[in-house]
């Protein structure tokens, strides 16, 4: 393509003109706030590697959710830390499970807030893998097909408790189809699925694993999560999830995978979510605490880049901050000059 003569430096851009020709902007409607719910009463335990984020018991979670709703954040995603764990992660699908109880409490207070639930077994199994494990010669591997049944049961029990959307993050083969079938059968044909479609075996999940207490006790997740150098594989994973019935597809993490977000958006034209994960949060927080980075400017730049890459939805631990920053932004950019 031949470009016409462009006069970028001669063009006088007032702040308002700059905004008018801006190609991408971040809005509250893009945001999903992740929350960790734990057993007990009056628990508000800060996660050391994620300052400003807490493990909250249900009674503490409800006011937090009210605040999030009042800020204008349209959705939250819930992660549960159960009382007890076992080999099959049975607390994941118990009607009295921690997420199920949290859902009922939230929905009775804020029925219109979109409540998404992470559907995975790793927080509920004593070995920390995303499904039950089976012995495979010398090593242990996750029993894919056994996991499917449990994941489907979990998604249905979340829907029964009021979840608006299921977000499977386990990466088992066939889980979107299994969850879709189970939801349909349970009468939840209208509950959508946001699948963690391109989920990489990433080092950026470190702080989350402390928060949710789901570090694998042996081995790692490389067998079922994707290899970071691959992006053709991400296209195949997404195609499969869409075929199986995913309504929204997610890329995770976000920042190191902007090219993947971009390719997926262009290839499928589907709603794309990006998970700005715990490690991405922690590294900026740490630098900001040392005074090495301007947190607000860095975060706005990073999250805008995730949108620019093609994400429609961003799951981020900065959701509350961003709402406050957007509210603070001057409505009329030329206010100062007029004086």
Residues annotated as catalytic (active site), given as ranges? 199, 252
Exposure pattern of 307-319 as b/e (b: 16+ CB <10 Å)?
Answer: bebbbebbbbbbb
Residue 238: CB minimum distance to ligand PBG, A: 18
Residue with tokens 């800060």: 46
* Cβ proximity to ligand PBG, 54 vs 205, nearer residue: 205
Rounded to whole angstroms, how far apart are CA atoms 318 and 309? 19
Of 209, 296, 308, 321, the residue at the interface with ligand PBG (CB under 6 A) is 209
Q: How many residues does the chain have?
A: 339
Helix or strand or coil: residue 309? helix
**Is residue 169 involved in binding ligand PBG (CB under 6 A)?**
yes
Q: Which residue is nearest to ligand PBG (CB)?
A: 208
- The residue (of 157 and 202) whose beta carbon lies closer to ligand PBG is 202
In angstroms, give the least distance from the CB of 27 to ligand PBG: 22
- Which range touches ligand PBG (CB under 6 A), out of 56-64, 156-164, 180-188, 201-209? 201-209
Among 54, 205, 257, 318, binds ligand PBG (CB under 6 A): 205
Burial class (CB in 10 A: 0-12, 13-18, 19+), 93: buried
Considering the complex, state which of residue 100 and residue 117 has its C-beta at the smaller distance from ligand PBG. 117
> Is residue 323 within the footprint of ligand PBG (CB under 6 A)?
no
Between 60 and 280, CB nearer to ligand PBG: 280
Q: Which stretch binds ligand PBG (CB under 6 A): 35-43, 53-61, 98-106, 115-123?
A: 115-123
List Cβ<8 Å contacts ≥24 apart for 7-16: 14/333, 14/334, 15/333, 15/334, 16/332, 16/333, 16/334
Q: How many residues bind ligand PBG (CB under 6 A)?
A: 11
314 vs 141: CA distance, rounded Å = 32
CB of 282 to ligand PBG, least distance (A): 9
**Site residues (CB under 6 A) for ligand PBG, limited to 220-259:** 221
By rule CB under 6 A, what string of x and - marks binding of each residue 116-155 to ligand PBG? --x-x-x-------x-------------------------
Minimum distance from residue 130 beta carbon to ligand PBG (Å)? 5
Lookup result for tokens 């990073």: 302
First to last CA, the chain: 45
Tokens of 57: 């018991």
Instruction: Rule CB under 6 A: choose which of 166, 278, 303, 323 binds ligand PBG.
Output: 278
Q: Left if phi > 0, otherwise alpha if psi is -120 to 50, otherwise beta: which for 311? A: beta
Residue nearer to ligand PBG on the CB measure, 66 or 321 = 321
What lies within 8 Å, CB to CB, of 204 at 6+ separation is: 253, 256, 277, 278, 279, 280
Return residues touching ligand PBG (CB under 6 A): 118, 120, 122, 130, 169, 205, 208-209, 221, 277-278
């Amino acid at each position: 393509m031949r470009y016409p003569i462009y006069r970028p430096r001669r063009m006088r851009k007032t702040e308002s003109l700059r905004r008018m020709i801006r190609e991408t902007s971040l809005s509250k409607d893009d945001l999903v706030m992740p929350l960790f719910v734990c057993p007990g009463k009056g628990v508000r335990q800060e996660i050391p590697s994620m300052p400003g984020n807490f493990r909250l018991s249900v009674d503490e979670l409800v006011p937090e959710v009210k605040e999030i709703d009042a800020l204008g954040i349209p959705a939250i995603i819930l992660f549960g830390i159960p009382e007890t764990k076992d080999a099959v992660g049975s607390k994941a699908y118990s009607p009295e499970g921690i997420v199920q109880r949290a859902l009922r409490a939230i929905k009775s207070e804020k029925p219109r807030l979109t409540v998404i639930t992470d559907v995975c077994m790793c927080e509920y199994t004593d070995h920390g893998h995303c499904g039950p494990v089976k012995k495979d010669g010398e090593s242990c591997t996750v029993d894919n097909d056994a996991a499917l049944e449990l994941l489907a049961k979990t998604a249905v029990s979340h829907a029964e408790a009021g979840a608006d959307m299921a977000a499977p993050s386990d990466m088992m083969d066939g889980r979107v189809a299994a969850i879709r079938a189970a939801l349909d059968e349970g009468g939840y044909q209208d509950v959508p699925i946001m699948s963690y479609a391109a989920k990489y075996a990433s080092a950026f999940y470190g702080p989350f694993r402390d928060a949710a207490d789901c570090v694998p006790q042996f081995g790692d997740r490389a067998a079922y999560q994707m290899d970071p150098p691959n992006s053709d594989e991400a296209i195949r994973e997404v195609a499969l999830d869409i075929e199986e019935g995913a309504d929204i597809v997610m890329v995770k993490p976000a920042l190191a995978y902007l090219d993947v977000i971009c390719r997926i958006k262009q290839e499928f034209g589907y709603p794309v979510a990006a998970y700005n994960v715990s490690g991405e949060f922690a590294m900026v927080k740490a630098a900001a605490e040392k005074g090495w980075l301007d947190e607000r400017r860095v975060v706005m730049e990073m999250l805008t880049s995730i949108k620019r890459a093609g994400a429609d939805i961003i799951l981020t631990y900065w959701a509350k901050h961003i709402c406050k920053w957007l509210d603070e932004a001057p409505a009329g950019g030329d206010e100062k000059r007029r004086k």
